[in-house]
Amino acid sequence: MEYTKLGRTDLNISQIGLGTMTWGWQNTQAQGFEQMDYALAQGVNFFDTAEIYAIPPSPERYGATETIIGNWFKDRGNRENVILASKIAGPGMPWLRDGDNQINRRTVLAAVEGSLKRLQTDYIDLYQLHWPNRGSYHFGKIWGFNPEFDAQAEEANFLEVLTVLNELIQAGKIRHIGLSNETAWGINKWLQIAKDNNLPRIASIQNEYSLLCRHFEQDLSEIAMHEDVGLLAWSPLARGILSGKYLNGAKPEGARLTLETRPEHRVGPQVDAATQQYIEIARNHGLDPCQMALAFVNQQAFVSSTLIGATDMDYLKSNIDSITLKLNQDVLADIQSVRREYPVPF
């Protein structure tokens, strides 16, 4: 395994991170335990979860994944061997906190206490804001700049949230903080307000990034590099699409998109065409398509960790092994040619 520094913290996280959102729905607790045991034995020390997991979110599955991780910590007695990340959900789920779930002082305090209890731990190493109060362009949503946006009110909220997060850090309940599904304006404001008020600095940003989704490169990559706020790349296989298993409308039994209850924006003719070409590149170079896709993410300078997730142990092992693959210039040139043809397939 290879490791990288998380932002400007003293944490060295594995460049392959273990995503957990299938435990408690697609995977049982026993399977989650098996995945954690194997990943840790391979040097994967960074686990990422969230209060709303398992996915797709529902009142019945809320907190299930954190509960499984907490049971594993209790059973194995190895909490100190894991750098643990979790998240507070933002607005959008009327069943969560009675629908009043803007990220603010009250909800942060409630969410942290709930996560600590389920995780059976005294502290969370990295606590992230799952998405902004004002919305996000991730998750297939049509989202753009609103000229009537109240920036002053948003900045006041940022200050409120940073203040309560600082209190939680001082209390030892969380160690560092991060963003998720944020924009360039957002991350710069969080950094500025923290600096101006001597409050905790954002250590990372967790956004979607893969061969099929490269929005991060346009401007956020520059911020990540120069401000030491590395990317924790989620969905590096585009929900498994880059494996090719969904080509031509296929719906494999038990697969994530087969079970998903929400509309999926990542399907369509351009996605299929780009996916097929990436698979052909891998085969032409004697590579496994999934490992090639993960290796591409792994070797981006602005990526701190590539968050993998698998329901099957064979896939998990292959995904972790991608850390040993380094793509040469011929492979990268072929990838770039497909990117030019399909710059934004979804």
Tens of pLDDT, residue by residue over 82-139, are 999 999 999 999 999 988 899 999 999 999 999 999 999 999 999 999 999 998 887 7
Alpha-carbon separation of residue 18 from 14, 37, 78, 86 (angstroms): 9, 11, 16, 12
Give the percent of the chain with pLDDT over 70: 96
Nearest alpha-carbon partner for 44 in 20, 71, 13: 13
Q: Residues 38, 53, 123, 209: which is the catalytic one?
A: 53
- Which residue type is seen at 20? T
Q: 86-109 as b/e, with b when 16 or more CB fall inside 10 Å?
A: bbbbbbbeeebbeeebebeeebbe
250 has pLDDT over 80: no
**Residue 96 · residue 89 · CB < 8 Å:** yes
pLDDT of residue 328: 98
Q: What is the pLDDT of residues 53-81, one digit of tens each?
A: 999 999 999 999 999 999 999 999 999 99
Report all structural domains of the chain as residue ranges with CATH numbers, in order of start: 3-240+300-328 (3.20.20.100)
Neighbours of 338 (CB within 10 A): 20
Q: What is the pLDDT of residues 184-208, one digit of tens each?
A: 999 999 999 999 999 999 999 999 9
pLDDT of residue 7: 96
pLDDT of residue 249: 72
Compute the C-alpha angle 307/203/96, nearest 5°.
70
The pTM of the full predicted model, rounded to 2 decimals, is 0.94
Average confidence (pLDDT) over 256-263: 66
Neighbours of 317 (CB within 10 A): 14
Distance of CA 88 to the CA centre of its chain: 13
**Residue 15 · residue 304 · CB < 8 Å:** yes
Average predicted confidence (pLDDT) for the chain: 94
pLDDT of residue 37: 98
245 has pLDDT over 90: no
**pLDDT bucket at 233, cuts 50 / 70 / 90:** very high
Asked about 53 being catalytic, the answer comes back as yes
**Which has the minimum average pLDDT: 78-92, 115-129, 239-253, 331-345?**
239-253
Q: Where are the beta strands (DSSP E) in 220-268?
A: 230-233
d(CA 172, CA 7) in angstroms, rounded, equals: 19
**Residue 302 · residue 231 · CB < 8 Å:** yes
